[in-house]
Each structure stands twice: as structure tokens, then as C-alpha cells.
Structure 1
Amino acid sequence: MANDTQILKGLLEGCILKIVNKEETYGYEICERLIDYGFEAISESSVYPILIRLEKKKLLYSIMKKSSLGPMRKYYYLTEEGVVELKDFILSWDKIKKNIDNVLEG
């Protein structure tokens, strides 16, 4: 489908919020988790613009911390607004998934 990329961008925002909600994490680790979940074509060049967008929307905030493996890393956390957005995303996804399943099974 031609619009796979646009659909995926919106869904990735919700997925990233969920990953960040579990524990503090940084960009590369988010990419690795997405790959582990099956998003094989995901790259850092896809994830970092989403992280920037989520910070601009005040759904995430970040703190630079020392890394035991090298340079400082930017760790991401959900804001209160991010928690609300994640809950809304999950509710919306459940509804959309149910509707699509109805069509595909019907």
C-alpha cells in the first residue's frame, strides 16, 4: 500500500509512548525494542524525528545522562500529558482494530 509509511508514523508514536512508559530509555534502545517487536524496517532515522515531535507536543521530556559505555545519552520519559495520550492511543487502537477485524472477518 502506498500509504503504509503514513499509517505507520501515527502508530509508531503510540508504540514509542508505550515503550517509554515502561522504563527510562534512549533513542537507540527504542529502535532495538521496536525491531524486537517485529518492526524490522525501523531505523534510527525514523525514530528520532518522532521523538523530537513527541517532545515538541510535550508528551515526552528528556534528560542527558552519563553512559557506562561512552558518551552521554538522552533518556526519555513520559509527561502527564504523555500518559493521557498513551491511554487515548490504546483506546483508539482497540476500537480501530476491532472495526478492521470485523471487516476482514465479515
Structure 2
Amino acid sequence: MSVDIATVKRVARLARIAVSEDDAERMTGELNTILGFVEQLNEVDVTGVEPMTSVIPMAMKKRQDAVTDGNKADDIVANAPATDENFFLVPKVVE
């Protein structure tokens, strides 16, 4: 796959980047070099290679999936002006 000046200008327009004619020519060469490197990666034989999430093999840390109240009810209502059994007390607004 190769990139021409029209493609560079179209991508620049889609990205809302102002590109001059000289810059478009320079970017054409740079993008073709990058795409050439990516095409070289297709030649690498990766059969039998496991997908990785990290460079170092490691198990993901997992915690018990349990619903709790966080044991913070006392801390949450500590600064409230009025509470009752860890609930906020508020003035009645509807008659």
C-alpha cells in the first residue's frame, strides 16, 4: 500500500490540520516509510505465540466480587448536623 499526495491532503482535511504543498510531499514519503515497516511485520511468523497483556508474564490480580457497604457509614455521617442509625436527618419539605 502506498500513499499519494491526494491521500495525505484528504487525511489532513479530515483531521482538520493545515498542510502546505511542501509538507504534503514530505509527509507522503514519511507515511510510505511507516507503512513499509508495518508491511514487514506481516512477514513475521507468529504461529504458536500466545497473545500478551504485558512484556512480563503475570497473573492479573483479582478480588472477591462481593457487595459490601464499604464499612464507612460512620465516617460518612461523622460531619452531618443530624443523624440517626447512620442515616442523614433532613428537615421535612413536603406537607
Scaled by the length of structure 2, the TM-score of the pair is: 0.30
Q: Between Structure 1 and Structure 2, which shows a larger proportion of helix residues?
A: 1
Scaled by the length of structure 1, the TM-score of the pair is: 0.28
Larger RCO (alpha carbons 8 Å, 6+ apart): 1
Q: Between Structure 1 and Structure 2, which shows a larger proportion of strand residues?
A: 1
